[in-house]
Amino acid sequence: MKVANAYGEFNHFHLLSGEDFPVKNNEQIDNYFENHPDVNFLEISQRIPEQNQDRFRLRYQQYHFLQDKFIGQKHNIFKYIDFASCYLQRFLGINRTRHIKIQSGAQWFSLNQKLIRYIVEHEKWIIKHFKNTYCPDETFIQTLIADTEYMQTLYNSGQENLRFVEFYWKAKHNLTPRYLNVRDIHLIDNKKYFFARKFSKEVSDVFLRNLKNDL
């Protein structure tokens, strides 16, 4: 965000992942965001904490000191050691969120430059509250703007971010987006979605070929 903000003036900045793809053409995307310059598209919901309230609190209330150096894959012995240390911290009374209320939602967004600048200006606040936490990309923006004027700029009160994603339980603690296939081609005509995830060449090849031809 810091680099993009310094690059120039833009209506909106879009965060996409490597397996995302647009389901509208450039003209449709440009026209839509030009007509909504003051609107921000970011999800704020209880979807993530509702999956497991206790595990959600462990992600942010205590310090995950092993997160950056040792934890890479989802199933990693250091991950269990890390969470065990969080239970110990909880027993000792450590709670980083005593003075803030953690909000959450999908990390993907389309935000205007005013909000991007606000986020960049609060880098120190973000680091203070979210360094050594677990998956902060799903919470730091939502928490930062809670109780600010930016809540009033969210599309559909933060219930939608113009992205289609459908999650499924791959394992007990692994809720992940499914790969889209040709049965999802209807997304092209759905006005609610401008981007979708996730795609792979193997599973989504027919969809992608149809999508590229249509766009």
Other CB atoms within 10 Å distance of the CB of residue 168: 9
Q: Provide the pLDDT for residue 10.
A: 93
* Of the candidates 158, 156, 157, 175, the residue with the CA atom closest to the CA atom of residue 166: 175
Q: What is the pLDDT, as a whole number, of residue 69? A: 66
Please report the pLDDT score of residue 74 as a whole number: 57
Q: Before 131, cis peptide (omega within 30)?
A: no
Q: What is the H or E stretch that residue 60 is in? A: helix 53-61
pLDDT on residue 149: 97
> 185: Cβ–Cβ under 8 A, 6 or more apart, which residues?
207, 210, 211
- What span, in angstroms and rounded, lies between the C-alpha atoms of 108 and 17? 8
**Rounded distance between C-alpha atoms, residue 185 and residue 187, angstroms:** 5
pLDDT of residue 150: 98
pLDDT for the residue numbered 202: 85
What pLDDT score was predicted for residue 214? 73
Amino acid 143 reads T
Residues of the chain with pLDDT under 50: none
pTM: 0.88
**What pLDDT, on a 0 to 100 scale, did the predictor assign at position 211?**
79
User: What integer pLDDT is reported at residue 212 of this predicted model?
Assistant: 78
Instruction: List 21's β-bridge partners, or say none.
Output: 196
Q: Which residue has the tokens 């027993």?
A: 91
Of the candidates 36, 186, 47, the residue with the CA atom closest to the CA atom of residue 107: 47
